[in-house]
Amino acid sequence: MPVKAKFTVKTRKVVFSKGPVHLVDCLVRAGKGKWLSRQILEHPGSVVMIPKISKQRYLLVRQFRFAARGWLWEFPAGGIEPGENLNEAAKRELCEEIGACPKKMRKLVSFYPSPGISSEVMHLFLAEKLYPAWGEKDEDEEIEIGVFTGPQIEAMIRSGKITDAKTILGFYYLTRRR
């Protein structure tokens, strides 16, 4: 995570709030610099899971993302509920989205997906040894599940069929660490 900088917040106003996400307007200054107006989305964070089902086979989910105006193939992901630790959140989200829970899970890396506008931190996990386990899906989710090999995922990234940043980062992080 980044080196913490000294900064001052002169004003902070919540402009919009729904659920765990808040749009905040702030007047801030880093060190002795200029006062700057900044608008950010405060977000409690999320988990991203790479469900590995065999040596070179992974599960992806396809769902409609309104901001992207289309259907995206991506690794399963979701928000962290209040009081939930990262492992609990990752297991819950996998049960909800793919109907499976991992016997083995390893945290790989944490990252800011969009630090210019959001405080959200994503935590990436490798989930292995999956067994059937059902969780209640979010009411607004329509999810298709697909099984892909590593080379198929790489080809989908290169051809633009996968454009989701967390999935691209997760795939390359996993394959380049070996």
Domain range summary for the chain, segments of one domain joined by +: 7-42, 46-177
Helices 165-177 & 150-159 angle (0-180, nearest 10): 130
Per-residue model confidence (pLDDT) at position 178: 58
Structure-model confidence comparison of residues 5 and 77, the more confident one: 77
pLDDT at 4 over 70: yes
pLDDT at 19 over 80: yes
State the Cα–Cα distance between residues 13 and 150, nearest whole angstrom.
45
pLDDT at 39 over 90: yes
pTM: 0.90
Q: What is the mean pLDDT of residues 150-164?
A: 97
Is CATH 3.40.50.300 the classification given to domain 46-177? no
State the Cα–Cα distance between residues 33 and 116, nearest whole angstrom.
18
Strand partners, 125: 49, 107
pLDDT at 137 over 70: no
Q: What is the mean pLDDT of residues 66-82?
A: 95
State the Cα–Cα distance between residues 48 and 74, nearest whole angstrom.
9
Of 18, 67, 8, 5, the residue nearest 38 (C-alpha): 8
Residue 5 — pLDDT band, cuts 50, 70, 90?
confident
Per-residue model confidence (pLDDT) at position 101: 94
Residue 83 — pLDDT band, cuts 50, 70, 90?
very high
Contact between 48 and 134 under an 8 Å Cβ cutoff? The reply is no
Query: What share of the chain in percent tops pLDDT 70?
Result: 95
Residue 17, sorted as left (phi over 0), alpha (psi -120 to 50) or beta, turns out to be beta
Q: What is the mean pLDDT of residues 84-95?
A: 96
